[in-house]
């Protein structure tokens, strides 16, 4: 049987996780993503972002492409387009000194640095 999550959803999930790992490595941040608590926090934040109503059509596409759903969900935006397409060059939170924004929240559309997204646990 075809697993609907394997068709498209898991690829988007992994994309978001890889972006976080690459950001930590690129900017040499003192965050140890391989620690047990950080793995749990990372997966919780990624799942929370992908649970946004903006990703409903993307999730429906997984079921449609697997053959379990007949109506096509139509056009939709993926993780790259929703969370990583922004023109801002700073974090939206007041007083943030980090010049490297990381993600645009799929719920509130705030652009956040990794500290405010991951370390301060930006959860909706």
Give domain status of residue 85, yes or no: yes
Residue range of the domain that includes 77: 4-119
State the pLDDT confidence band at 116, using cuts at 50, 70 and 90.
very high
Note whether residue 124 is domain-resident. Answer: no
- State pTM to two decimals: 0.91
In this structure, the dihedral spanned by the alpha carbons of residues 107, 109, 114 and 120, taken in order and rounded to 10 degrees, is -50
Q: What domain count does the chain have?
A: 1
The answer to whether position 96 is within a domain reads: yes
95 domain-assigned: yes
Our separate counts of H helices and E strands in the chain read: 6, 2
**26: in domain:** yes
The yes-or-no verdict on residue 15 having pLDDT over 90 is yes
Task: With respect to residue 63, please indicate whether it lies within any of the assigned structural domains.
Answer: yes
Which residue spans within 11-115 are E strands per DSSP? 101-104, 111-113
Question: Which of 5-19, 24-38, 86-100 shows the lowest per-residue confidence on average (mean pLDDT)?
Answer: 86-100
Q: Tens digits of per-residue pLDDT, 40-89?
A: 999 999 999 999 999 999 999 999 999 998 899 999 999 999 999 999 88
């Amino acid at each position: 049987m075809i697993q609907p999550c394997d068709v498209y959803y898991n690829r988007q999930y992994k994309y978001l996780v890889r972006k976080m790992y690459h950001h930590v490595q690129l900017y040499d941040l003192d965050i140890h993503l391989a620690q047990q608590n950080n793995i749990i926090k990372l997966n919780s934040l990624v799942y929370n972002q992908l649970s946004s109503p903006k990703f409903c059509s993307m999730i429906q596409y997984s079921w449609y492409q697997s053959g379990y759903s007949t109506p096509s969900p139509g056009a939709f935006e993926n993780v790259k387009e929703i969370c990583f397409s922004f023109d801002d060059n700073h974090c939206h939170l007041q007083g943030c000194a980090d010049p490297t924004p990381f993600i645009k929240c799929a719920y509130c559309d705030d652009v956040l640095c990794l500290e405010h997204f991951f370390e301060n646990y930006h959860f909706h």
